[in-house]
Amino acid sequence: MRIEKKCFYVDGEWVPAAEPDRVRVWTPRTGEVLGTVPSATAAEADVAVRAARVALRSWAASQPDARAAWLERIADELEKQAEPTATLICDEVGTPIRLARKIQTDLPIANLRHHAAQLRRMCFEERVDESLVLREPVGVVVAITPWNYPLHQIVLKLAAALAAGCTVVLKPSEIAPLNAYALAEAIDRAGLPDGVFNMIVSSDPQVGVRLTTHPEVDKVSFTGSTAIGKLVAAQAAGTLKRVTLELGGKSAAIVMDSADLGRAVRHTVNSCFLNSGQTCTSLTRLLVPHALRHECEQIAVAHAAALAVGDPRLQATKIGPLKTSAQLQRVRGCVEAGLREGARLLCGGLDSPTNVPSGGFYMQPTIFGDVRPGTTIEQQEIFGPVLAVIPYSDIDDAVAIADGTPYGLAASVWGEADAAQRIARRLRSGQVDINGAAFNPGAPFGGMKESGYGREAGRFGIEDFLEYKSLQGA
């Protein structure tokens, strides 16, 4: 059944859209229309910003314990609808249903509660000699979020901003906005004060420009491509807004000769193909000692063959479709570039997978061997299920290759613990996993170089929405 949305959520109410323009939302499962949403105008963006500005004074003055309680209420309301929300995101994004439950739904709920717990432990003022140093909310925040982990990325920004005492205008990706409506409905049921959270959707680029240049917006938090992130930063500079950018990545896994090869390679393959490779932190480059490259390639190919590609609604599916037809064609173009530039195709490639729903945007998981540094598939963020296996001569060579792209979002090191940590310290990356350590929701998340700046998650994410004020003689 097609989902039809006709309103935006502004100032605590569902407000009918001013224009009849509709944005179609496609399901990558079958290439069919899943639903439609309205497309906001610049004037409607102004109304949402104004609502957030009016609500700011009382929300910023509220007690941290009260704000924490609101986050927990929103989490409770989301949890009541966790199963239908997971199914919705499975259809909207193409994430296999088991992962959609765990990552796309359960993790955002847990993050709301985690931010509430962090907020209760934070101190918002301290004495520094004769000064009283206060930490105050930055103000009205515009959150612009992507389509690959849509609810998770919204919540990372929203929970931190609300915890800090900021009010929010959310502009989710028009490619996957339906989950944002599910969140807005949960917020409405929770009874959050009017204007504290506002949501509009628009396919008009000028609406994004209006939000990033708006004189009553104090901060923009953006997650998306590096190219668009640069535009956002330039637009926000005109009014000297605070900006947080979480952008692209081309993450490397460095496997030392002391590593458990099987575990290291399988973990890297899983990371690369997670969410059909549509993950900014995916380990898309597997760096292995030259003498071990064939053994590592064999492990990678065997593991890839065990990852079922198919309908994301099926429990057995490990790899679903890419989000859009355009994204599928882009990834195929990168595979063609890999073949053209001399990489050795180990598995996958351009042939379409079998036993998948017709019309969907599916691709075989693809692995290249003997990938040379500087080539297209070694340098570009592909955002699809494509792994590059790159041999290195020594650790200095491995570090140079890992750091040899414009990005610096994530990395991984495998081997003897002390040596692995020494290598991790050398890498120019916002986060480095050592021997497959689990994601820590309380640790700061963000990038270096062209992967962006600012941090999300835990108390570090909340601090990103705070300003310092010094009261001398207070």
Under DSSP, the state recorded for 316 is T
The answer as to whether 200 is a domain residue is: yes
CB count within 10 Å of CB 257 equals 12
CB neighbours of residue 234 within 10 Å: 12
Tell whether 261 and 212 lie within a shared domain: no
By residue range, what is the domain housing residue 348? 251-440
Do 177 and 279 reside in the same domain of the chain?
no
State mean pLDDT over 319-323: 97
Name the active-site residue from 90, 166, 272, 280.
280
**129 part of a folded domain:** yes
**Res 149: pLDDT:** 97
Task: Please compute the mean of the pLDDT values over residues 115-133 and round it to a whole number.
Answer: 95
pLDDT, residue 270, reads 97
The answer to whether residues 201 and 114 belong to one domain is yes
Which is nearest to 44 in space by CA: 243, 180, 198, 241?
198
> What is the reported pLDDT for 85?
97
* pLDDT average, residue stretch 7-16: 98
> pLDDT (tens digit, 9 = 90+) per residue, 58-85?
999 999 999 999 999 999 999 999 999 9
Distances (CA, A) of 414 to 257, 267, 287: 9, 10, 10
Closest CA to 194 of 17, 41, 42, 54: 54
Catalytic, 246? Answer yes
How is 400-421 classified by DSSP, letter by letter? HHHT-SSEESEEEEESSHHHHH
Question: How high is the pLDDT of residue 473?
Answer: 84
Residue 21 domain flag: yes
158-186 pLDDT, tens per residue?
Answer: 999 999 999 999 999 999 999 999 999 99
Q: Identify whether residues 16 and 71 lie together within a single domain.
A: yes
Shared domain check, 321 and 282: yes
What is d(CA 414, CA 431) in angstroms, rounded to the nearest whole number? 14
What is the tally of structural domains in the chain?
A: 2
**Can you give the pTM of this predicted structure?**
0.95
For residues 121 and 258, state if they share a domain: no
Q: Determine contact, residues 116/69, Cβ cutoff 8 Å.
A: yes
pLDDT mean over 358-365: 96
Residues 461 and 404 grouped into a single domain: no
Task: Give me the percent of the chain exceeding a pLDDT of 70.
Answer: 100
- Give the tens place of pLDDT for each residue, 406-424: 999 999 999 999 999 999 9
CA 294 vs CA 261, 318, 346, 406: distances in Å: 12, 25, 11, 28
Write phi, then psi, for 136 (nearest 5 degrees). Answer: -120, 155
CB 165 within 8 A of CB 136: yes
446 within domain boundaries: no
Q: Which position among 246, 378, 450, 456 bears the catalytic label?
A: 246
237 pLDDT more than 90: yes
Residue 233 sits in the same domain as residue 262: no
Q: How many residues does the chain have?
A: 474
Residue 217 in this model has a pLDDT that exceeds 80: yes
β pairing state of 431-434 and 410-414: parallel
Q: Indicate if 195 and 260 belong to the same structural domain.
A: no
* CATH number assigned to the domain comprising residue 357: 3.40.309.10
User: Regarding beta strands 448-449 and 125-128, do their DSSP bridges make them parallel or antiparallel, or are they unpaired?
Assistant: unpaired
**Residue 227 — very low, low, confident or very high, per pLDDT cuts 50/70/90?**
very high
Tell me the mean pLDDT in the region 257-270: 97
Judged against a pLDDT cut of 80, whether residue 1 lies above it is answered with no
- Residue 474 pLDDT more than 90? no
Establish if 104 belongs to a structural domain: yes
Averaged pLDDT for residues 252-260 = 97
Average pLDDT over residues 149-153: 97
- What does the mean pLDDT of the chain come to? 97
**CATH code of 48's domain:** 3.40.605.10
Examine the domain organization and report whether 75 and 128 are in the same domain: yes
Higher-confidence residue of 96 and 308: namely 96
Answer yes or no: is 39 within a domain: yes
Whether residue 308 sits in one domain with residue 215: no
Q: What is the largest CA-CA distance in the chain?
A: 73
Q: Domain check: are 90 and 172 in the same one?
A: yes
